[in-house]
Chain A
Amino acid sequence: MCLAIPGRVSEIFESHGALMGKVNFGGITKTVCLEYVPDIQVGEYTIVHVGFALNRIDEESARQSLKLFQELGVLHEELGEDEGAPDEIRE
Chain B
Amino acid sequence: MKYVNEFRDGAIAQRMAAEIRKIVTRPWAIMEVCGGQTHSIIRNGIDQLLPEEIELIHGPGCPVCVTPLEVIDKALAIAALPNVIFCSFGDMLRVPGSSKDLFRVKSEGGDVRIVYSPLDAVALARANPGKEVVFFGIGFETTAPPNAMAVSIARKQGLTNFSMLVSHVLVPPAIEAIMNSPLNRVQAFLAAGHVCSVMGYWQYPPLAERFHAPIVVTGFEPLDVLEGIRRAVTLLEAGEAKADNAYERVVSFEGNQPAQKMLEDVFEVTDRAWRGIGSIPKSGWRLSAAYRAFDAEEKFQVSGIETKESALCRAGEVLQGALKPNQCAAFGKECTPRNPLGATMVSSEGACAAYYNYGRFITLEKSAEACPVP
Query: Do A and B touch each other in the complex, judged by CB within 8 A?
Result: yes
Interface residues of A (CB under 8 A from B): 1-6, 8, 16-18, 25-26, 33, 35-38, 45, 47, 49-52, 54-55, 57-59, 61-62, 65-66, 69-70, 72-74, 76-77, 83
Partner of B36, one of A3, A65, A69: A3
Q: How far is the CA of A4 from the CA of B3 in the complex (A)?
A: 12
Return the CB mask of B112-136 against A: 1 if under 8 Å, else 0: 0000111110000000000000000
Bound together, the chains give a CA A25 to CA B116 distance in angstroms of 15
A-B contact pairs, 26 of them (CB 8 A): A1-B34, A1-B35, A1-B141, A2-B35, A2-B194, A6-B1, A6-B3, A16-B153, A17-B153, A33-B119, A33-B146, A35-B258, A36-B145, A50-B117, A50-B143, A50-B146, A51-B118, A51-B120, A54-B194, A55-B252, A57-B249, A65-B227, A65-B248, A72-B12, A72-B15, A72-B230
Contact residues in A for B274 (Cβ distance below 8 Å): none
- Establish whether residues A52 and B117, one from each chain, have CB atoms under 8 Å apart when the complex forms: yes
- Min CB–CB distance B174 → chain A (angstroms): 11
Q: A54-B145, A54-B194, A74-B15 are in contact. Are A2 and B156 (CB under 8 A)?
A: no
How far does the alpha carbon of A20 sit from the alpha carbon of B198 in the complex, in Å? 19
User: Which interface class (under 10, 10 to 19, 20 to 34, 35 or more) fits B?
Assistant: 35 or more
Contact (Cβ within 8 A) A65 B142: no
A19, B255: Cα distance in complex, Å: 20
The answer to whether A58 touches B248 (Cβ under 8 A) is yes
Assembled-state Cα–Cα distance A56/B290 (Å) = 30
Q: Do B259 and A36 have beta carbons less than 8 Å apart? A: yes
Point out the residues of chain B lying under 8 angstroms from A61, CB to CB.
Answer: 248-249
Q: Counting CB contacts under 8 A, is B256 at the interface?
A: yes
Task: Judge if B192 is at the interface, Cβ distance under 8 Å.
Answer: yes
Q: Is the CB of B258 within 8 A of A58?
A: no
B227 touches A49 (CB 8 A): no
Once the chains are docked, how many angstroms separate the CA of A25 from the CA of B2?
A: 8
By secondary structure, the A interface counts as: mixed
Identify A54's interface contact among B16, B153, B248, B256, CB under 8 A: B256
A33 touches B139 (CB 8 A): no
User: Shortest Cβ distance from B155 into chain A, in angstroms?
Assistant: 11
Output the least CB separation between A80 and chain B (Å).
14
Question: In the complex the two chains form, is A69's CB within 8 Å of B259's CB?
Answer: no
Chain B residues close to A by CB (< 8 Å): 1-4, 6-7, 9, 12, 15-16, 18-19, 22, 34-37, 61-63, 89, 116-120, 139-143, 145-146, 149, 153, 156-157, 192-195, 197-198, 220, 223, 227, 230, 248-252, 256, 258-259, 262, 349
With a 10 A CB-CB cut-off, give which of B145, B146, B149 has the most chain A CB atoms: B146
Residues of chain B within 8 A (CB-CB) of A45 are 2-3
Contacts A55-B252, A76-B22 supplied; 12 other A-B pairs, CB < 8 Å: A1-B61, A6-B1, A33-B117, A35-B258, A50-B118, A50-B146, A54-B256, A55-B250, A57-B249, A61-B248, A61-B249, A66-B7
Q: Which of A18, A58, A72, A83 contacts B250 (CB 8 A)?
A: A58
Q: How far is the CB of A21 from chain B (nearest CB, A)?
A: 13
- Residues from chain A with a CB closer than 8 A to the CB of B35 are 1-2
Whether A50 contacts B116 by the Cβ 8 Å rule is yes
Which residue from A25, A50, A59, A69 sits with its C-beta under 8 Å from B12? Answer: A69
From the candidates A2, A35, A73, name the one contacting B18 in the complex (CB within 8 A). A73
Q: B196: nearest residue on chain A (CB-CB)?
A: A55
A4 to B262 CA separation, bound complex (whole angstroms) = 19
B232 to chain A, nearest CB (A): 15
Q: Is the CB of B349 within 8 A of A57?
A: no
Q: Are A35 and B149 in contact (CB under 8 A)?
A: yes
Given the contacts A16-B153, A36-B258, A65-B227, A2 and B192 also touching, CB distance less than 8 Å: yes
Residues of chain A lying within 8 A (CB to CB) of residue B194: 1-2, 4, 47, 49, 54
What CA separation (Å) do A2 and B258 show in the bound complex?
19
